[in-house]
């Protein structure tokens, strides 16, 4: 074992034998697959002593898997919060490297809210608890004394629910450290369309307010019971509908009708206003996550009024599990370089997505996830 691997094993904590995890997941049987994200697939595994774990198997090529793997472990190791998924260890000496997380039995918020086979209807109390839990997790990540962690991919699919439906923020493959003395970092664009803040999507300028923006989208989805990220040109987006009801002084008309009016009016109103505050185009107008917690939990807190309607102009044309094609009609944000800078091409930090911006008026964004060669080989062998 070389020095870098020894150091990594020390940082990551407990290491598992690859053979154990391979057997625990029944050789990564598709029947044990819990989900799939931008960085890899997650499988349910049962260890020899009977403990159930979640095993993350990253998408990779021979040279491109390392950044995302080391990044995720280095960021999440040592941070502990009740609303963050806990990293138990890793496997780094087998034919591929694996991450082992605590198993969260109720799957993702996305599956429960929008899954075709979901039979769970979240009560208002459960929804509000999820919103507050995610807010607390993000405030914790952003509140470090020396540096803050920006998640970069907050979305309903990355919020897991435990046996009591408490939220656990997961998937730190895109996360970034930012020192407290820096206002922002400029980085390659990576994330999920529909949850990405405009200044980050267009200019690659990353601050913790990008997480706040994504959180606002998730809040709207939770309260309204509708997904924001897919809509067609000419139709009203989820956030646009919330904005219209807010301007008509009837914001709680946006609450999920499945609840049949069984919700706390003030909590729902504050949550929807948080969604609008967080999704304003201007970074400076969005609240910090600590301010969000105050709005949600302090009864006498003066909730500010949103000054801008949400950033909305993204049209999703085609979506499948691996590739997103989008056409946007963004008005580029002003910058010191001039009123209409041309966004530049950027490759994501972990090299599994490529975001290409064309130079015409409608910026076409293609985010393509690579096929997993292991799954392709299996498919070929089955033919």
What DSSP assignment string belongs to 248-315?
Answer: TT-GGGGS-GGGTT-S-HHHHHHHHHHHHHHTBSSGGGSPPHHHHHHHHH-TT--PPPP-SPBP--EE
Q: Strands 52-58 and 167-169, how do they pair? A: unpaired
pLDDT surpasses 50 at 324: no
Judge contact between 170 and 110, C-beta under 8 A: no
Cβ count within 10 A of residue 301: 13
The catalytically annotated residue of 2, 3, 29, 153 is 153
Return the SS3 of 240: helix
Q: Partners of 100 in the beta sheet?
A: 55, 89
Judge contact between 311 and 279, C-beta under 8 A: yes
Judge contact between 32 and 43, C-beta under 8 A: yes
The per-residue pLDDT of the chain, averaged, comes to 77
Q: Strands 346-347 and 87-91, how do they pair? A: unpaired
Higher pLDDT, 22 or 189: 22
What is the distance of C-alpha 113 from the center of its chain?
A: 15
Q: What pLDDT is stored for residue 236 in this prediction? A: 65
Judge contact between 245 and 251, C-beta under 8 A: yes
Q: Which of 35-44, 70-79, 135-144, 354-363 has the lowest mean pLDDT?
A: 354-363
Alpha-carbon span 182 to 193, nearest angstrom = 26
Judge contact between 120 and 105, C-beta under 8 A: no
Q: Which of 33-47, 144-158, 346-360 has the lowest mean pLDDT?
A: 346-360
Q: Is 153 among the catalytic positions?
A: yes
Residue 312: band (very low, low, confident or very high) from pLDDT cuts 50, 70, 90? low
Q: Considering only CA atoms, which of 136, 110, 147, 137 is closest in space to residue 225?
A: 110
Most confident of 74-83, 174-183, 243-252: 243-252
Judge contact between 276 and 246, C-beta under 8 A: yes
* Cα→Cα distances 184→53, 106, 203, 204, 284, Å: 36, 35, 11, 10, 12
| Domains assigned to the chain | 3-102 (3.30.200.20), 109-227+236-297 (1.10.510.10), 314-373 (no CATH)
- The stretch 285-305 carries a mean pLDDT of 95
Residue appearing with tokens 């803050």: 148
Q: Considering only CA atoms, which of 328, 323, 312 is closest in space to residue 238?
A: 312
Alpha-carbon span 220 to 214, nearest angstrom = 10
pLDDT in tens, 188-240: 788 888 899 999 988 888 999 999 999 999 999 999 999 986 554 555 689 99
pTM value > 0.85:
no
Residue 331: band (very low, low, confident or very high) from pLDDT cuts 50, 70, 90? very low
């Amino acid at each position: 074992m070389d020095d870098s691997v020894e150091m990594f094993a020390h940082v990551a904590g407990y290491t598992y034998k690859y053979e154990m995890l391979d057997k625990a997941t029944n050789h990564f049987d598709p029947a044990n697959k819990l989900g799939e994200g931008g960085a890899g697939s997650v499988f349910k595994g049962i260890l020899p002593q009977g403990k159930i774990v979640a095993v993350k198997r990253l998408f990779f090529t021979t040279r491109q898997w390392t950044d995302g793997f080391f990044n995720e472990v280095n960021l999440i190791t040592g941070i502990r919060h009740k609303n963050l998924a806990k990293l138990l260890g890793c496997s780094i000496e087998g034919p591929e490297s694996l991450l082992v997380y605590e198993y969260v039995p109720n799957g993702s918020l996305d599956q429960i809210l929008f899954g075709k086979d979901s039979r769970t209807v979240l009560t208002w109390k459960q929804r509000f608890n999820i919103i507050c839990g995610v807010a607390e997790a993000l405030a914790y990540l952003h509140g470090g004394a020396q540096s803050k962690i920006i998640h970069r991919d907050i979305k309903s699919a990355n919020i897991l629910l435990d046996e009591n439906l408490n939220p656990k923020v997961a998937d730190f493959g895109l996360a970034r450290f930012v020192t407290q003395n820096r206002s922002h970092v400029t980085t390659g664009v990576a994330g999920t369309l529909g949850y990405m803040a405009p200044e980050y999507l267009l200019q690659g300028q990353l601050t913790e307010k990008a997480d706040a923006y994504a959180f606002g989208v998730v809040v709207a989805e939770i309260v309204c019971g509708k997904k924001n990220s897919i809509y067609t040109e000419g139709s009203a987006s989820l956030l646009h509908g919330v904005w219209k009801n807010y301007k008509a002084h009837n914001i709680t008309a946006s609450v999920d009708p499945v609840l049949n009016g069984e919700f706390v009016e003030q909590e729902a109103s504050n949550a929807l206003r948080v969604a609008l505050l967080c999704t304003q185009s201007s970074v400076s107008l969005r609240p910090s996550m600590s301010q969000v917690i105050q709005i949600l939990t302090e009864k006498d807190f003066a909730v500010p009024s949103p000054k801008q309607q949400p950033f909305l102009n993204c049209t999703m044309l085609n979506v499948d599990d691996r590739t997103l094609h989008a056409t946007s009609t963004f008005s580029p944000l002003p910058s010191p370089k001039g009123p209409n800078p041309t966004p530049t091409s950027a490759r994501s930090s972990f090299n599994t997505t490529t975001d290409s911006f064309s130079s015409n008026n409608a910026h076409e964004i293609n985010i393509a996830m690579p096929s997993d060669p292991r799954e392709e080989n299996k498919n070929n062998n089955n033919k």
